[in-house]
Structure 1
Amino acid sequence: MTHDNEQQVRKGRHCVSALHAHLVFVTKYRRKVFNDDMLNRLKVILEETCQDFEVNLTEFNGETDHVHLLVEYPPKVQLSKLINSLKGVSSRLMRKEYPEIHRYLWKGALWSPSYFAGSCGGASLEVLAKYIEQQKRPE
């Protein structure tokens, strides 16, 4: 159990980490595709894909034309590979399970090729910079 101000850490054999990323995926042409049922199914697909990478999907939400994910991941995971898998698997399954998507997206892609990925969590950059500056360097 952690306190609100304590960050949860992932312990590996040779590494302790606390890596979090905020991801945003936008539908192709910013088309308004999703309804609540679709977003619920999309969350399950994304959670299952994350598990294959030993990644935790800690938050998920979306609107008709984009989704936000907050993921916690181990250092061995390459974010670009995780993102490609999340987008690829979800696009394939959503288009198969919801054929009506083709009304909005006739070319076969659910997602725009671009995405947003931002690192988050932990101390602010200013706090970290100050901490590193204040280390007792030998003379």
Structure 2
Amino acid sequence: MGLKRASHAVYDTRYHLVWAPKYRKCILRDEVREYTKKVFREIGERYEFEMEVCEEHVHIFLGFPPRYSIGDIVRIIKSTSARKIFRRYPELKEELWGGELWEGGYFVRTVGDKVTKEVIKRYIRYQHDEKGSQLELF
């Protein structure tokens, strides 16, 4: 990502985020998964993040200007994506018992210079072993 400049700041922020659909339902399959990736790409264009969508959870690697908090970014991504996904796939509401798309919480880890964008991207791409269980980052 490297150093970025804003009007009153120079920054290099890097975060690894993980969250899941409500009830950890495996709803992010096939067409829904591809559409979810498309929605995240649209949202993330201005925040420069890499991501992967699994059937049961989402991994995102991103950096953003310091005028935003991590909570702001998560709220933007979750709310915008849920609105668009439910609009396109209203049947998901029924599968989630009429509720929300995403679980309320999330995991966040700051990523320093030792863990590069390429390391996180590789982890995100290969984060499942043959049995499909989640691997540890470190």
For the aligned pair, the TM-score class normalised by the smaller chain equals 0.7 to 0.9
Per the TM alignment, residue 34 of structure 1 is displaced from its structure 2 partner at its CA by 1.0
Larger Rg: 1
Asked if structure 1 preserves the Cα contact closer than 8 Å seen for 2:40 and 2:77, the reply is: yes
Secondary structure of 1:84's aligned partner: helix
What TM-score, normalized to structure 1? 0.74
* Misfit runs of 4+, over 4 Å: none
Equivalent-residue separation in structure 2 for 1:103 and 1:93 (angstroms)? 16
Secondary structure of 2:20's aligned partner: strand
Asked if structure 1 preserves the Cα contact closer than 8 Å seen for 2:37 and 2:53, the reply is: no
What is the identity percentage for the equivalent residue pairs of Structure 1 and Structure 2? 27
Per the TM alignment, residue 101 of structure 1 is displaced from its structure 2 partner at its CA by 1.2
- The equivalent residue for 1:95 is 86
Per the TM alignment, residue 105 of structure 1 is displaced from its structure 2 partner at its CA by 0.4
Secondary structure of 2:93's aligned partner: helix
Equivalent-residue separation in structure 2 for 1:92 and 1:108 (angstroms)? 12
1:117-128 equivalences under 5 Å are: 117-123=108-114
**RMSD (CA atoms):** 1.8
For structure 1, the residue ranges without an aligned partner over 5 or more in a row are 1-6, 125-139
Amino acid at match of 2:11: S
More strand by share: 1
- The equivalent residue for 1:56 is 48
Secondary structure of 2:105's aligned partner: strand
Asked if structure 1 preserves the Cα contact closer than 8 Å seen for 2:22 and 2:103, the reply is: yes
For structure 2, the residue ranges without an aligned partner over 5 or more in a row are 116-138
What TM-score, normalized to structure 2? 0.74
